[in-house]
Structure 1
Amino acid sequence: MKVLRLVLAIIVVSLSSYGLITDTSEVIIPYILLFLGTMLFVTGIIEFKKRKPTAITLMLASGFSFFVTIYTLIS
């Protein structure tokens, strides 16, 4: 799980950097949010064993990120 979180973090940073360098942020933002939501979800699963309030907060942030991604892709 920790390797998955690291890979997702690298993908998010890479996409964000690419969007800033090429000035195509409006096209890439839904994909960044999708990977960010997935990363938050995986982190929430990892933290659920240690600290439950932190895990619940991460799950809520992940749900919000997924909602924004779907809303952005639809409109």
Structure 2
Amino acid sequence: MKIIRIILATIVVSLSIYGLITGTAEIILPYLMLSMGGMFLVMGVTEFQKRKPVAFTSFLVAGFSIFVGISTFLSNLA
């Protein structure tokens, strides 16, 4: 799980830097939000295994990020 979290965090940072440098943040945003949602989902699973109450908040943030990523992706298609 730790390796997956590091990979997803690297993807998020890379996409953010790429969007800022190239000025294509509106194109990169859905992929960035989906990656962040995956990262928070992995963090939530890790915290849930440790029985920490912050896991519920991580799951909520992951769900919201994935929802925003999908809705932004679909709105870019139209």
With the length of structure 1 as denominator, give the TM-score of the two structures.
0.95
Name the CA distance, whole Å, in 2 between partners of 1:29 and 1:71: 11
Structure 1 spans left out of the alignment, 5+ residues: none
- In angstroms, what is the RMSD of aligned CA positions? 0.9
4+ aligned runs moved over 2 Å, structure 1: none
Name the CA distance, whole Å, in 2 between partners of 1:51 and 1:19: 36
Equivalences for residues 31-42 of structure 1 within 5 A? 31-42=31-42
Equivalences for residues 1-75 of structure 1 within 5 A? 1-75=1-75
Name the CA distance, whole Å, in 2 between partners of 1:59 and 1:48: 10
Identity between Structure 1 and Structure 2 (%): 57
Structure 2 spans left out of the alignment, 5+ residues: none
Name the CA distance, whole Å, in 2 between partners of 1:47 and 1:8: 17
